[in-house]
């Protein structure tokens, strides 16, 4: 049972916009930054979004993040086949630990 809650799956067709949600509590999402990671099966996770809505260099602007209260979301616009991967949200918890969501498997139809 993960501390942050994500839908287990999401899907979309090429060119569509997909949104993945992440729900937490006041002690994590509600009071700390949210991060998003992309993991292609068989590879290590990659930082996709940091500090709620910032993109590391090299991440396309098709990816965007937002946060409101104890919930956050990752939006992917102009969906492409290479976006098919697992997506995880993460945050620091005030109990002094990093917590992750259970992951969302994105399928590009």
Partner 1 sequence: QVQIEESGPRLVKPSGTLSLTCTVSGGSLSSTQWWSWVRQSPGKGLEWIGEMYSGGDPSYNPSLTSRVTISVDKSKSQLSLNMSSVTAADTAVYYCASASGYAKFDNWGQGVLVTVSS
In the complex, the residues that contact partner 1 under the rule CB under 8 A are 2, 32-33, 35, 37, 43-47, 50-51, 56, 88, 90-92, 95-103
Query: Shortest Cβ distance from residue 87 to partner 1 (Å)?
Result: 11
Cα 103 to chain centroid distance, Å, stands at: 8
Judged by CB, which is closer to partner 1: 98, or 109?
98
Pick between residue 33 and residue 67 the one whose CB is nearest to partner 1: 33
Which residue's CB is nearer to partner 1, number 85 or number 99?
A: 99
CA distance 31 to 17: 28
CA distance 66 to 54: 9
Q: Residue 29 CB, nearest distance to partner 1 (Å)? A: 11
Cα distances (Å, whole numbers) of residue 74 to 31, 34, 39, 40, 52: 18, 10, 14, 16, 9
Which of 76/99 has CB closer to partner 1?
99
Residue whose pair of structure tokens reads 């590879």 in the numeric block: 43
């Amino acid at each position: 049972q993960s501390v942050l809650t994500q839908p287990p799956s999401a899907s979309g067709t090429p060119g569509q916009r997909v949104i993945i949600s992440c729900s937490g509590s006041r002690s994590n999402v509600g009071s700390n930054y949210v991060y998003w990671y992309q993991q292609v099966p068989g590879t290590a996770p990659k930082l996709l979004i940091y500090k709620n809505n910032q993109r590391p260099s090299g991440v396309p602007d098709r990816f965007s993040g937002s946060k409101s209260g104890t919930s956050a979301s990752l939006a992917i616009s102009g969906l492409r086949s290479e976006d098919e991967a697992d997506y995880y949200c993460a945050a620091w918890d005030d109990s002094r630990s990093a917590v992750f969501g259970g992951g969302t498997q994105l399928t590009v139809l």
